[in-house]
Amino acid sequence: MAKRSLALYVIPLGIVVAAGCEPILGFDGSTYVSAVNAVCSCAEVKTAFVTETACKAYFSAGIARGTTADVSAWLKLVDAQHCDRCTPGDLTSKIPCIDVAPMCVAIGESCVEPAECCGYSTGTTQCVHTGVGLNSECRACNPANSPCNSSEECCGYHKQEAEPPYCSPLTRLCVVKKPDCKKTGEPCAVASDCCGAEGGASLVQCAASKTSGGSVCSETCYPSTPDNCPGCCAVLDASALNGGQCRDATPAACASYCDPNNPQCDGNTTCKQTCFQLGAACAYLCTQ
């Protein structure tokens, strides 16, 4: 089977792509378009696809690749599994309609999102960067505590999730955070209580707080590969490789953090070092 990329198969959903140019009718009497729109409009699909547009492109590519019988079977599956119904915060109901042929992509084929790969839902396959340009392909992924070169290789990794499995920058093993771990600024008794301890002892510390008087966690992150707290690695020291601190205990502030070595600020803002109070650690923020 030839390799493909979603970017090459993004087609208007109103175009009929079935064999013989006949519209494939859905269970509600409409074409497959309504089923795709219904599945992709639910907020929980963002844990599988970055945007609603990417979700629609994924299904459009599968429909373009499949036969009339394939797409008809998929429409029946959508109806039987209620994949068109939104279940906020829970992608489970969508998995049967995402991880199924002809929608999903086989091992060795090019991909964009982790959930595109056949076997993603069972934790056996992942969309992994090949190391050449921006190319990625579906490959067998690595379970927890197995060697890795990048977080993309770790089963269950998805860059859009707040706490995905990741490849520790210290041990080079796929690791998973404990669900009850303490985030930066939260009280702790020992360092092993802190999120990040799974990735290596030097990623965390449990030290006396300057304000509360007790001990609190501090989790280090690498601004270039902030996979232990994606989207919320506050850069404290622009000159240090590991000059970041995870601040995902307060996610509302995450969007304002930036990396001065790779600034990506919107509008009229720029990446500047900002100190909130005397004696407190400074961080780089997108600000005017």
Predicted confidence pLDDT, tens digits, the chain (288 residues): 333 333 322 333 333 333 332 334 444 445 678 889 989 999 888 878 878 898 999 998 998 888 888 888 998 898 899 988 898 888 888 889 999 989 999 999 998 877 789 988 888 898 888 878 788 899 999 999 999 998 988 988 877 677 789 999 999 999 999 999 999 999 999 999 999 999 999 999 999 987 767 899 999 999 988 999 988 999 998 887 788 999 999 888 898 999 988 888 887 889 998 886 655 568 999 988
Could you state, in order of their start, the residue ranges of all structural domains in the chain? 6-103, 178-287
Residue count of the chain, please give it: 288
182: which residues sit within 8 A by CB, 6+ positions away? 188, 193, 194, 195, 216, 217
pLDDT value, residue 168 = 95
pLDDT value, residue 277 = 60
pLDDT value, residue 31 = 65
pLDDT value, residue 29 = 41
252: which residues sit within 8 A by CB, 6+ positions away? none
Q: How far is CA 271 from CA 126, 238, 239, 262, 266, in A?
A: 33, 11, 15, 9, 10
Based on the number of CB atoms within 10 Å of its own CB, is 234 exposed (0-12), middle (13-18) or buried (19 or more)? buried
Q: How far apart are CA 156 and CA 263, in angstroms?
A: 28
pLDDT value, residue 182 = 96
pLDDT value, residue 200 = 93
Question: How many other C-beta atoms are found inside a 10 Å radius of the C-beta of residue 278?
Answer: 5
pLDDT value, residue 100 = 92
Tokens of 116: 């595109």
pLDDT value, residue 99 = 92
Residue 70 · residue 59 · CB < 8 Å: no
Q: How far apart are CA 250 and CA 236, in angstroms?
A: 16
Place of tokens 């639910």: 42
